């Protein structure tokens, strides 16, 4: 038995009804992560960045940058210094800006630091990938 008439159609479909309930629950929950000292009009994020996650990513990028520095010196791959090491240093500094923003959300310097560096940092990494792929081929 097929159901092509309107008598057995439900709207929204059950799969979409789940998302509607979920978004309704999210809008009813209070925002616990806002900074009490800043209004929403001053906060460029719309939320307070998480200190723990930002510190974890800053440490991970720092560790991988140091490991790549050791790899570049040990294997004498000097192109890694101005590509991969530069990208890792920029990502580490960008995540430092995110950690800084977790303490002072309305600081425009911290926001500018993290937004600029985390967006621009993958570019030298991509250049390093192109150099490596060019040597493989």
Longest distance between any two alpha carbons in the chain, whole Å: 73
Rounded to 5 degrees, what angle do the CA atoms 72, 76, 79 make?
65
pTM for the model stands at 0.67
Count other Cβ atoms within 10 Å, centred on residue 113.
19
Q: What is the pLDDT along the chain (137 residues), one digit of tens a residue?
A: 555 555 555 555 555 555 555 555 445 444 455 544 545 678 888 888 899 999 999 999 999 999 999 999 999 999 999 999 999 999 999 999 999 999 989 888 999 999 999 999 999 999 999 999 999 99
In angstroms, how far is CA 41 from the centroid of its own chain? 22
Contact 45, 115 (CB under 8 A): no
């Amino acid at each position: 038995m097929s159901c092509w008439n309107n008598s057995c159609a439900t709207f929204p479909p059950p799969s979409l009804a789940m998302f509607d309930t979920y978004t309704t629950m999210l809008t009813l929950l209070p925002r616990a992560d806002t900074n009490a000292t800043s209004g929403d009009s001053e906060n460029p994020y719309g939320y307070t960045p998480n200190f723990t996650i930002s510190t974890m990513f800053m440490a991970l990028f720092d560790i991988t940058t140091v490991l790549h520095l050791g790899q570049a010196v040990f294997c004498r791959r000097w192109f890694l210094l101005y590509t991969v090491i530069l990208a890792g240093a920029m990502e580490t500094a960008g995540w430092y800006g995110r950690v800084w923003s977790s303490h002072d959300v309305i600081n425009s310097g911290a926001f500018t630091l993290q937004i600029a560096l985390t967006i621009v940092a993958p570019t030298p990494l991509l250049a390093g990938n192109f150099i490596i792929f060019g040597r493989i081929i």
